[in-house]
Amino acid sequence: MIKLEMRKMLHTIAALTDLGNEINSSKDFDEVIRTSLHTCLGTLAIPKGAIARYSAKPRQLKIVAAKGLAGVVGQKIELGVDEVAKIAARTRPIKLTAERNGLAHFVRRNQEMFNKLRAHLAVPMIVQGELIGVIYLSEKLSGEAFSDDDLTIINTIARHIGLAFYNQRLIVSLKRRAEENRRLYKEMRQVYHDVVRAFGSAIDLKDAYTKGHSDRVARYSEAIAREMGLSGEELENIGVAGYLHDIGKITVDRAIINNPRPLTEREFKELNKHAVTGYEILANIRHPWQEIAYMTKCHHEKVDGTGYPQGLRGDEIPLGSRIVTLADSFDAMMTDRPYRVRLPLEKALNDVERNTNSQFDARVVTAFCRLLLKELNGASRERIIIPMIGLKFDRAQIVSQLEAIISQFEEISLAV
Ligand SMILES: [Fe+2]
């Protein structure tokens, strides 16, 4: 007798281990529940059974898995508020056939359904005091009554399965929340980019000659940064710095910005303040704006240390600023200004070449020339700079000029 009990206990432990493994597996959840039911029935030699999942809205138990019973999956059992409370308070399996089980009305009302389920026991699955579902079990194959040990085993299994349901519900709600957060984050970024674009247009509106300048500098800067192997947020921030590089000009007198004559020293001083003013405007805004603010501050620095406002040299200047500097200057050369008409592309590239290693960073210049070459050869994914130039030029001449600049500075830029 003791031997038999021992064997039964070992068998139960093995079944519970199987059940634990099953529940923790990454299999399809419905499959997990089906297998769990089979394990539960197999452990105690019960031929028929079903698992119902509880939902609060509407208050019902829905059969999600069954064994030995045809056409019951999907069937629903409605519950009253007090019935939910009564079932959730039960710590032991409920004998549906017993007359004084405290749920007489519920059993009577659903008698037809329970007959269909061959239900002898109803085992509530409760997690943290909350009704998760019910397992319905028929009588044992042997016809013997369920012993106290059997009921304990059934309760343990019901707890396991109940936890599986509970965890799955948590995962689903977490996924939904994560999805919602992703959507909100995307919307927030959209708003952020719209604000940046609005700022960019506000700066350009102040200057009669620079319509679309901020937008082009942003696009050029991003394209150069991508060519240099940058990606993700770093790339995005450089684009934003491109948009906002001249934001400080909103505090500079319009007469100075649009002055067609050479500026006086006082006017230059006033205009040059825009780098620091821009920094002050942006630095008060949270990360990643502080980085963008500093890039904006440094967009008139020169790699040889002769720029402003700090006279930084080489790598002391943020890479984003060195990129924006070239994009800004190139666009200025390619558009009409109060004091001159735009330059031919060949001449602009000569200027870039002449100022490499003094105003411009050689690595940025070679990346920029590689990008232009790719756009001319049709090797780039999209053409960003060439369509904006809007000038006629000798393609072969420009290609050889770009190749010459690249070969002249490539070695230096690799050595750095
Ligand atoms: Fe500027």
Do the beta carbons of residue 99 and residue 80 sit within 8 Å?
A: no
Residue 298 shares a structural domain with residue 158: no
State the DSSP code for 78: E
Do the beta carbons of residue 278 and residue 297 sit within 8 Å?
A: yes
pLDDT of residue 4: 64
Residue 139 shares a structural domain with residue 240: no
Do the beta carbons of residue 400 and residue 256 sit within 8 Å?
A: no
Ligand 1 mean position, distance from CA 245 (Å) = 6
Ligand 1 mean position, distance from CA 188 (Å) = 28
Q: Burial, 122: exposed, middle or buried (Cβ in 10 Å; 0-12, 13-18, 19+)?
A: buried
pLDDT of residue 365: 97
Residue 84 shares a structural domain with residue 214: no
Element (H, E) at 114: helix 111-116
Q: The domain spanning residue 40 has which CATH number?
A: 3.30.450.40
Ligand 1 mean position, distance from CA 414 (Å) = 29
Residue ranges making up the domain that contains 285: 207-415
Angle at 323 between CA 318 and CA 329, to 5 degrees: 125
pLDDT of residue 311: 97
Residue 21 shares a structural domain with residue 133: yes
Ligand 1 mean position, distance from CA 403 (Å) = 29
Ligand 1 mean position, distance from CA 195 (Å) = 20
Query: Could you give the angle at which helices 232-244 and 213-227 cross, rounded to 10 degrees?
Result: 150
Ligand 1 mean position, distance from CA 274 (Å) = 7
HSE (side-chain half, CA atoms, 13 Å) at 78: 5
Ligand 1 mean position, distance from CA 197 (Å) = 17
Query: Could you give the angle at which helices 148-206 and 2-24 cross, rounded to 10 degrees?
Result: 10
Residue 242 and residue 204: Cα distance in Å, rounded?
Answer: 13
Residue 386 and residue 375: Cα distance in Å, rounded?
Answer: 7
Single-letter amino acid, residue 226: R
pLDDT of residue 416: 46
Longest alpha-carbon distance in the chain = 111
State the DSSP code for 380: S
Residue 132 shares a structural domain with residue 274: no
Ligand 1 mean position, distance from CA 354 (Å) = 20
Q: Which residue has the tokens 């959507």?
A: 183
3-state SS track over 44-55: CCCCCEEEEEEE
Do the beta carbons of residue 358 and residue 302 sit within 8 Å?
A: yes
**Residue 193 resides in a domain:** no
Q: Is 131 helix (H, G, I), strand (E, B) or coil?
A: strand
Residue 143 shares a structural domain with residue 69: yes
Ligand 1 mean position, distance from CA 408 (Å) = 28
**Residue 34 resides in a domain:** yes
Bridge-based pairing state of the strands 49-55 and 60-67: antiparallel
Residue 168 and residue 216: Cα distance in Å, rounded?
Answer: 50
Ligand 1 mean position, distance from CA 172 (Å) = 51
Single-letter amino acid, residue 67: K
Ligand 1 mean position, distance from CA 247 (Å) = 8
Ligand 1 mean position, distance from CA 46 (Å) = 82
Residue 310 shares a structural domain with residue 400: yes
Q: Which residues surround ligand 1, an ion (CB under 5 A)?
A: 246
Ligand 1 mean position, distance from CA 283 (Å) = 17
Ligand 1 mean position, distance from CA 316 (Å) = 18
Facing residues of 66 across strands?
A: 50
Residue 95 and residue 88: Cα distance in Å, rounded?
Answer: 15
Ligand 1 mean position, distance from CA 275 (Å) = 6
Residue 239 and residue 217: Cα distance in Å, rounded?
Answer: 8
pLDDT of residue 414: 52
Residue 11 shares a structural domain with residue 152: yes
pLDDT of residue 380: 81
Sheet containing strand 60-67, edge to edge, reads 76-78, 60-67, 49-55, 130-137, 121-127, 94-95
Residue 171 shares a structural domain with residue 307: no
Residue 92 shares a structural domain with residue 156: yes
Taking only the tens of pLDDT, the chain with its 416 residues reads 556 667 776 777 777 777 777 666 666 788 888 888 998 898 888 999 999 999 999 999 999 999 999 899 999 999 988 889 988 888 888 888 776 777 888 888 888 999 999 999 999 999 988 999 999 999 999 989 998 888 888 888 888 889 888 988 888 899 999 999 999 999 988 888 888 888 888 888 877 667 789 999 999 999 999 999 999 999 999 999 999 999 999 888 888 888 888 889 999 999 999 999 999 999 888 767 789 999 999 999 999 999 999 999 999 999 999 999 999 999 999 988 777 889 999 999 999 999 999 999 999 999 999 999 999 988 888 888 988 887 788 999 999 999 999 999 987 555 44
Ligand 1 mean position, distance from CA 328 (Å) = 8
Ligand 1 mean position, distance from CA 297 (Å) = 9
Residue 225 shares a structural domain with residue 292: yes
Ligand 1 mean position, distance from CA 193 (Å) = 21
Angle at 84 between CA 61 and CA 77, to 5 degrees: 25
**Residue 257 resides in a domain:** yes
Ligand 1 mean position, distance from CA 273 (Å) = 9
Ligand 1 mean position, distance from CA 187 (Å) = 30
pLDDT of residue 26: 60
Residue 6 and residue 13: Cα distance in Å, rounded?
Answer: 11
HSE (side-chain half, CA atoms, 13 Å) at 295: 28
Q: The domain spanning residue 329 has which CATH number?
A: 1.10.3210.10
Number of domains in the chain: 2
Ligand 1 mean position, distance from CA 284 (Å) = 20
pLDDT of residue 40: 85
Do the beta carbons of residue 367 and residue 329 sit within 8 Å?
A: no
Tokens (6 digits) for 68: 């030995």
Do the beta carbons of residue 237 and residue 285 sit within 8 Å?
A: no
Ligand 1 mean position, distance from CA 324 (Å) = 10
Residue 222 shares a structural domain with residue 158: no
Do the beta carbons of residue 203 and residue 250 sit within 8 Å?
A: yes
